Amino acid sequence: MNIQQSIQEAITTLYTQEVPANLLQLQKTKKEFEGHLTLVVFPLLKISRKKPEETAQEIGTYLMAHHSFIAGFNVIKGFLNLTVSPAYWLMQFNDILPIADYGTRQASADAPLVMIEYSSPNTNKPLHLGHIRNNLLGYSLAEILKANAYNVVKTNIVNDRGIHICKSMLAWTKWGNGATPASTGKKGDHLIGDFYVLFDKKYKEELKSLEEKNLSKEAAEAQSLLMAEAREMLRKWEAGDEETVRLWRMMNDWVYAGFDETYKRLGVDFDKIYYESETYLIGKDQVLEGLKRGIFYQKDDGSVWVDLTSDGLDHKLLLRADGTSVYMTQDIGTAKLRFDDYPINKMVYVVGNEQNYHFQVLSLLLDKLGFEFGKGLVHFSYGMVELPEGKMKSREGTVVDADDLMAEMIATAKETSQELGKLDHCTEQEADCIAETVGLGALKYFILKVDPGKNMTFNPKESIDFNGNTGPFIQYTYARIQSVLRKAGEQDIVFPEKTDTSLLLSEKEVSLIRNLITFPEIVREAGASYSPAIIANYVYELVKEYNQFYHDYSILKETHEALKIFRLLLSRQTGKVIKTAFSLLGIRVPERM
How far, in Å, CA of 524 to CA of 518, rounded?
10
* 310 close to 363: Cβ distance less than 8 angstroms: no
* 78 close to 52: Cβ distance less than 8 angstroms: yes
* 125 close to 189: Cβ distance less than 8 angstroms: yes
CATH number of the domain residue 74 falls in: 3.30.1360.70
What is the mean predicted confidence (pLDDT) over 12-38? 90
What is the mean predicted confidence (pLDDT) over 94-122? 95
Give the pLDDT of residue 394: 43
pLDDT in tens, 447-496: 999 999 999 988 888 888 888 899 999 999 999 999 999 999 999 998 99
Give the pLDDT of residue 390: 52
Give the pLDDT of residue 306: 96
How far, in Å, CA of 4 to CA of 495, rounded?
32
pLDDT in tens, 525-555: 999 999 999 999 999 999 999 999 999 999 9
* 556 close to 487: Cβ distance less than 8 angstroms: yes
Give the pLDDT of residue 104: 97
What is the mean predicted confidence (pLDDT) over 14-37? 89
Q: Where are the alpha helices (DSSP H) in 449-560?
A: 460-463, 471-490, 507-517, 519-529, 532-552
| Helix, strand, or coil (residue 585) | coil
Give the pLDDT of residue 334: 94
Out of 41, 65, 84, pick the residue that ends a domain.
84
* 184 close to 176: Cβ distance less than 8 angstroms: no
CA 30 to chain centre: 29
**What is the b/e burial string over 267-299, where b = at least 16 CB atoms within 10 angstroms of the residue's CB?**
ebebeeebbbbbbbebbbebbbebbeeeebeee
With bands split at pLDDT 50, 70 and 90, how would you rate the model's confidence at 326? Answer: confident
Give the pLDDT of residue 387: 75
Reported as half-sphere exposure (CB side, CA atoms, 13 A), residue 35 has a value of 21
CATH number of the domain residue 481 falls in: 1.10.730.10
In percent, the amount of the chain with pLDDT more than 70 equals: 98
Within a domain: residue 118? no
- The total number of structural domains in the chain stands at 2
pLDDT of 356 over the 90 cut: yes
* 355 close to 120: Cβ distance less than 8 angstroms: no
pLDDT in tens, 189-207: 999 999 999 999 999 999 9
What is each CA distance from 574 to 31, 479, 509, 564, in whole angstroms?
Answer: 22, 12, 11, 15
Within a domain: residue 206? no
Within a domain: residue 543? yes
Give the pLDDT of residue 392: 43
Within a domain: residue 525? yes
* 341 close to 291: Cβ distance less than 8 angstroms: no
Give the pLDDT of residue 117: 97
Give the pLDDT of residue 60: 94
What DSSP character marks residue 555? S
Helix (H) / strand (E) containing 107: none
Within a domain: residue 171? no
How far, in Å, CA of 259 to CA of 121, rounded?
9
pLDDT of 23 over the 90 cut: no
How far, in Å, CA of 189 to CA of 371, rounded?
36
User: Cβ neighbours of residue 411 under 8 Å, at least 6 residues apart?
Assistant: 435, 439
Q: Which domain holds residue 447?
A: 402-584
Within a domain: residue 486? yes
Out of 42, 69, 84, pick the residue that ends a domain.
84
- Residue 13: phi, psi to the nearest 5? -70, -45
How far, in Å, CA of 482 to CA of 166, rounded?
53
More confident of the two residues 375 and 557: 557
pLDDT of 92 over the 60 cut: yes
pLDDT in tens, 307-318: 999 999 999 999
Out of 33, 62, 84, pick the residue that ends a domain.
84
Within a domain: residue 96? no
With bands split at pLDDT 50, 70 and 90, how would you rate the model's confidence at 1? Answer: low
In percent, the amount of the chain with pLDDT more than 90 equals: 82
pLDDT in tens, 368-412: 999 888 888 999 999 998 877 654 444 444 578 899 999 999 999
Give the pLDDT of residue 506: 93
Within a domain: residue 471? yes
